[in-house]
Structure 1
Amino acid sequence: MMNNIRMRDDSTVAIGLTPKGQERQRKILEAARDVFLEQGFERASIHEIMQRAGGSISTLYRLYGNKLGLFEAMIMQSTSDLFPITDESDIWTDNVEESLLQFGQVLLEVLGQTEARSIRRIALSVSSADSEAIRKVFYEQGPRRVQRLLAAYLTRQKLLGKVNVVDVDIASAQFIEMVKSPWYHKAEFGFPIESGEPERSLQQAVVMFMQGVVVN
């Protein structure tokens, strides 16, 4: 789908590009994000994206192949910007409770941002032949990426005998959903969120998780 791009959990990396080329790529992705957010995937114009970014259409096609490839790269970059946690992040410590709190706090910050919710709406609103591919891109580079990061940490803690779960992948998804409920779902439907509700959801999620899976 895309040329000269390597996919990683923490960023979209240009292969074989000069610093100037990498900066050009960044401008294209930023322009693409703005246009996709304003117009949606189907109405977004490649020509308008390149007008804002500067450069030629041929450069865009050489880097990303087509509009779907550009959207995928934009999602990867936006997710990396919004959720800059990797498996090597210093939020992961030997203290499980502390790590869950720090992970959850970053998650709250991301979920509270309008941009993150807007990108999700774009992915879900596409009705063209690309709809399945768009949803898969968003899921893999957004929610699934975040879940994998937590699952990787829980796997390490399970090997150390600190957590007792049958399936770390399911456990990571369950923790994330506890952090999101019920405030995030209310926000999606336009209902008001009580002051401090996201923070209380996080605190309770950590307490429940610690009581349920952490080995004392």
Structure 2
Amino acid sequence: MTEPDKDQCDLLDGLRRGRPAAGQDPVKRSQIIEGARRVFIDKGFEAASMNDITREAGVSKGTIYVYFANKEELFEALIEEERGTIFKNMYDVLERTDHIRGTLVRFGMVLSAKITSAKVILAQRTVIGASERIPELGARFYERGPKRGHDKVVDFLNAAIERGLLKIDDVDLAAYQFTELCLAGLFRQCIFAYRTKAPSPAEIENVVRSGVDMFLKAYGTEQLAAEERGLNSG
């Protein structure tokens, strides 16, 4: 039996048994994406081929093309999945606004630990490597991930401004400044493999607390200082 005939028989058998229709099985789709992830990490986007991915995922050519038309489409699906993993729940801590300093420290530590983790560094390198050939892919990754997160930081800062705790002329710029302070000396060393291990929790906390101190010295109001004195005296 030829490979296309086998795929057709598998499809008909699946329908009779109540299995997902072609291209709709989430387990099979995940199997293909996992295979693609290993190939892209090992070979990079340019050198990887659909044949490589087929072998690594353990599926037939007929099956892989039912789910993904080409390497670019598969890569985009992989990156979308990575984006969801990277940014899932990262910004939940910003929903608490009763203690500005504590919230910023907690968020900064979550952000820094996630962004400098080995898995996320690999994902970011993969996106960067493919963006020259598929610039819209990198743009979408940024729009749906870092940009959405940035907007949440902006919302948090605006809420603090409305309460009189911060005074900021350019909130958009301040949000970028804050995230850079939380990653200072860590992210670039990781992304360029200057350091091969993720920073320790203690190292991250030291960087983040220093960054939050600097940020609040620049933008904190006397009202914030008074609130913090009250908290410390209590």
Question: Which TM-score applies when normalising by structure 1?
Answer: 0.71
Specify whether residues 177 and 57 from structure 1 end up closer, same or farther in structure 2 by C-alpha distance, changes over 3 A only.
same
| The 10-residue stretch of structure 1 (198-207 or 182-191) with the greater mean CA deviation from structure 2 | 182-191
Aligned residues: 194
The residue number in structure 2 matching 1:177 is 180
* Residue 30 (1) aligns with residue 34 (2): yes
Specify whether residues 40 and 157 from structure 1 end up closer, same or farther in structure 2 by C-alpha distance, changes over 3 A only.
same
Shift in Å, 1:93:
0.3
Contact 2:94-2:153 within 8 A present in 1 as well: no
Matched ranges for 1:35-114 at <5 A: 35-51=39-55, 52=57, 54=59, 56-61=63-68, 66-85=70-89, 89-94=92-97, 95-114=99-118
Shift in Å, 1:102:
1.7
The residue number in structure 2 matching 1:158 is 161
In structure 2, give the amino acid aligned to 1:49: I
The residue number in structure 2 matching 1:148 is 151
Which residue of the other structure, out of 176, 194, 201, is the alignment partner of 1:190?
Answer: 194
The residue number in structure 2 matching 1:116 is 120
Contact 1:37-1:118 within 8 A present in 2 as well: yes
Give distance in 2, aligned partners of 1:73 and 1:111: 20
* Residue 208 (1) aligns with residue 214 (2): yes
| The 10-residue stretch of structure 1 (169-178 or 50-59) with the greater mean CA deviation from structure 2 | 50-59
| The 10-residue stretch of structure 1 (73-82 or 24-33) with the greater mean CA deviation from structure 2 | 24-33
Specify whether residues 74 and 48 from structure 1 end up closer, same or farther in structure 2 by C-alpha distance, changes over 3 A only.
same
Structure 2: stretches of 5+ with no match in the other structure: 1-19, 225-234
Indicate the RMSD between aligned Cα atoms, in angstroms. Answer: 3.2
Contact 2:93-2:107 within 8 A present in 1 as well: no
Specify whether residues 39 and 90 from structure 1 end up closer, same or farther in structure 2 by C-alpha distance, changes over 3 A only.
same
Contact 1:35-1:44 within 8 A present in 2 as well: yes
Contact 2:131-2:137 within 8 A present in 1 as well: no
Matched ranges for 1:126-141 at <5 A: 126=130, 129-130=133-134, 132-141=135-144
Structure 1: stretches of 5+ with no match in the other structure: 1-16
Specify whether residues 128 and 147 from structure 1 end up closer, same or farther in structure 2 by C-alpha distance, changes over 3 A only.
closer
Give distance in 1, aligned partners of 2:78 and 2:115: 18
Give distance in 2, aligned partners of 1:113 and 1:172: 22
Contact 1:68-1:134 within 8 A present in 2 as well: no
In structure 2, give the amino acid aligned to 1:43: A
In structure 1, give the amino acid aligned to 2:73: G
Give distance in 2, aligned partners of 1:212 and 1:186: 26
Report the structure number with the largest CA radius of gyration: 2
SS of the residue aligned with 1:211? helix
Specify whether residues 108 and 171 from structure 1 end up closer, same or farther in structure 2 by C-alpha distance, changes over 3 A only.
same
In structure 1, give the amino acid aligned to 2:42: E
Shift in Å, 1:71:
2.3
Contact 1:123-1:135 within 8 A present in 2 as well: yes
